[in-house]
Amino acid sequence: MRNKVLIGYGQGFWGDSILGPVRLVREGPLDYLALDYLAEVTMSIMQKQKSRNPKAGYATDFVRMLERTLPDVVGKGIKVIANAGGVNPQACLDAVLDLARKQGHRGLKVGVVEGDDILARVPELLRSGHPLTNMDDGRPLQTIQDRLLSANVYVGAFAVAECLAAGAQIVIGGRLTDPALVAGPMIHEFGWGRTDWDKLAAGTMAGHIAECGAQCTGGNYTNWREVRDFVRIGYPIIEAAPDGTFVVTKHAGTGGLVNRNTVVSQLLYEMGDPRRYLGPDCTADFTSALVEEVGPDRVRLSGIRGGPATDTYKVSLSYQNGFKAVSQLTVSGPDAVAKARLCAEIVFGRLALDGVTFRDDQKLVELVGAGVCHAGITEASDPPEVVLRLGVKSDDEDLVDRFGMEVVPLVTSGPPGVTGFAGGRAKATDIVGYWPALLDKNQVTTRVRVEVA
């Protein structure tokens, strides 16, 4: 057993900078590279892609990243764990194997974790007494069942550890939880069991701190003036020990900042009850942690306590929930705010003349530059220009498209100073609704496979 394992977290979401993982691999020592590509809306997008192309439905950015890093990954023996498989882990696996063969990395072992995608099983689960009731409002799933787009269980860290134990150097999963990408290697390296609650809680907390990438190393930090060299901001590294203690750090010489405040800020991210943070492997008491600076850009966490996991998995479902369109114009001064408000009145007034109306809760009117982000706290009475954002939503796609036809005419038939329109008319796009639910763990079986390039 090693007494220290370095786990870098190079991707906070699908769309994060490719330089995060590239630099983690190249700019210092690393044992594992963790990459998170999934969010609730991402799964529905991937499901649509797969419905159109059976070889799609995964994070293609992952393969592009490996095109640049695979020689270093193989040469340095770095193990990679990602939930890039989305709703089609097999297609992602095939793409990675194909890349490895093209680059000459014969013998590379690539594993896949499956079993999280339960979309096809939803009717059977409902018939057998698993209601998948909406956790937020108590609605039965049957009310939107015919509009479902995706349904995925949040799989925990033991599936990752199992895949690593089977010899995989690259592990690809579907809806693996964000913390599992860090906790999985810790379980594998240190031999933690399913009842080592305190250690599992530490792994969960480590993964939670790192899961948004550079957000714990100075990104999105309130005291941003303290952060040096945003251009070369270092992505987080978890320096893990067998007893469950760990240090949050980054590669030496990189930009960014790791101190107690950056770590605690991320620790509180998306937090419900800090004494009972729920995950598929354990519950974690975030208030139990001792968080202390132990050197420049080094924050150590210890004393973390945990407890048994729940007997259910969280399930993330998404469904088609109507249509929306958003358009924007720049309105210049003088009197930019007054003219922008008039523009909004003109658009919805002309629509009403043509028999097209939207309720107030179906309309969006924002004057960016006049205090939208902190409405009621800071407002600008006479800015030199504002950006007018107008939007609508409806179950009727044609009504939404009709809205898009009335914004551009403001350039010549509205008040003076209207400019900045580009990109064509706003078209109706799907609104994806989010449906959180719980499912008995006995109804889910994960599977791991390892294939060789």
Mapped to the 3 state alphabet, what secondary structure does 92-139 carry?
HHHHHHHHHHHCCCCCCEEEEEECCECHHHHHHHHHCCCCCCCCCCCC
Q: Tell me: the pLDDT tens digits for 28-42?
A: 999 999 999 988 778
Phi, psi of 53 (to 5 degrees): -145, 110
pLDDT computed for residue 26 by the predictor: 97
Residue 15 scores a pLDDT above 90: no
pLDDT computed for residue 432 by the predictor: 87
In this structure, the answer to whether residues 74 and 191 fall within a common structural domain is yes
In this structure, the answer to whether residues 177 and 215 fall within a common structural domain is yes
- Among 310, 327, 342, the domain-final residue is 310
Give the CA-trace dihedral at 255, 184, 188, 64, to 10 degrees. -60
Phi, psi of 128 (to 5 degrees): -90, 10
In this structure, the answer to whether residues 350 and 259 fall within a common structural domain is no
Check if the beta carbon of residue 236 is closer than 8 Å to that of residue 248.
yes
- Angle of helix 397-404 versus helix 336-353 axis, rounded to 10: 130
From the list 396, 392, 387, 407, the residue with the least C-alpha distance to 362 is 392
Spatial distance between the Cα atoms of 438 and 307, rounded to a whole number of angstroms:
19
In this structure, the answer to whether residues 215 and 356 fall within a common structural domain is no
First to last CA, the chain: 28
Amino acid at 238: I
Cis peptide before 334 (omega within 30 of 0): yes
Give every CB contact of residue 191 below 8 A, 6+ residues apart in sequence.
1
Residue 438 scores a pLDDT above 80: yes
Residue-averaged pLDDT of the chain = 95
Mean pLDDT calculated for residue range 407-432: 90
pLDDT band for position 382 (50/70/90)? confident
pLDDT band for position 345 (50/70/90)? very high
This prediction has a pTM of 0.93
CATH at 419: 3.30.70
Check if the beta carbon of residue 213 is closer than 8 Å to that of residue 16.
yes
Mean pLDDT calculated for residue range 309-316: 95
Confirm whether 376 is domain-assigned: yes
Residue 348 scores a pLDDT above 90: yes
Confirm whether 441 is domain-assigned: no
Spatial distance between the Cα atoms of 28 and 265, rounded to a whole number of angstroms:
26
Residue 52 scores a pLDDT above 80: yes
Q: Tell me: the pLDDT tens digits for 252-304?
A: 999 999 999 999 999 998 888 999 999 999 999 999 999 999 999 999 999 99
Higher pLDDT, 240 or 423: 240
Q: Can you give the residue range of the structural domain that contains 224?
A: 5-116+154-310
Confirm whether 324 is domain-assigned: yes
Determine which helix (DSSP H) or strand (DSSP E) holds 260, and give its type and residue range: helix 260-267
Give every CB contact of residue 207 below 8 A, 6+ residues apart in sequence.
34, 157, 177, 178, 179, 180, 181, 182, 183, 238
In this structure, the answer to whether residues 63 and 34 fall within a common structural domain is yes
Strands, sheet with 283-285, edge to edge from the N-terminal-most edge strand: 277-278, 283-285, 305-307
Q: Tell me: the pLDDT tens digits for 128-169?
A: 999 999 999 999 999 999 999 889 999 999 999 999 999 999
What tokens does 210 get? 């790192």
How many helices (H) does the chain have, and how many strands (E)? 12, 19
Q: Tell me: the pLDDT tens digits for 64-104?
A: 999 999 999 999 999 999 999 999 999 999 999 999 999 99
- Among 310, 327, 343, the domain-final residue is 310
DSSP state of 256: B
pLDDT computed for residue 194 by the predictor: 96
In this structure, the answer to whether residues 357 and 297 fall within a common structural domain is no
Q: Tell me: the pLDDT tens digits for 392-414?
A: 999 999 999 999 999 999 999 99
Residue 107 scores a pLDDT above 90: yes
In this structure, the answer to whether residues 79 and 218 fall within a common structural domain is yes
pLDDT computed for residue 243 by the predictor: 97
| β-bridge partners, 246 | 240, 301
Give every CB contact of residue 264 below 8 A, 6+ residues apart in sequence.
291
Confirm whether 58 is domain-assigned: yes
Phi, psi of 221 (to 5 degrees): -100, 135
In this structure, the answer to whether residues 29 and 56 fall within a common structural domain is yes
Q: Is 155 helix (H, G, I), strand (E, B) or coil?
A: strand
Q: Is 284 helix (H, G, I), strand (E, B) or coil?
A: strand
Buried b (16+ CB within 10 A) or exposed e, 74-91: beeebbbbbbbbbbbbbb
**Chain mean position to CA 113:** 19
Strands, sheet with 32-35, edge to edge from the N-terminal-most edge strand: 290-295, 298-302, 246-249, 237-240, 5-11, 32-35, 79-82, 170-173, 109-114, 447-452
Give every CB contact of residue 25 below 8 A, 6+ residues apart in sequence.
8, 10, 33, 69, 72, 73, 76, 78
Give every CB contact of residue 424 below 8 A, 6+ residues apart in sequence.
none
pLDDT computed for residue 41 by the predictor: 77
Spatial distance between the Cα atoms of 46 and 144, rounded to a whole number of angstroms:
19
In this structure, the answer to whether residues 388 and 262 fall within a common structural domain is no
Confirm whether 192 is domain-assigned: yes
Spatial distance between the Cα atoms of 62 and 36, rounded to a whole number of angstroms:
10
Spatial distance between the Cα atoms of 62 and 64, rounded to a whole number of angstroms:
5
Q: Are strands 312-332 and 148-153 parallel, antiparallel or unpaired?
A: antiparallel
Number of domains in the chain: 2
In this structure, the answer to whether residues 301 and 334 fall within a common structural domain is no
pLDDT computed for residue 154 by the predictor: 96
Mean pLDDT calculated for residue range 178-202: 97
Confirm whether 82 is domain-assigned: yes
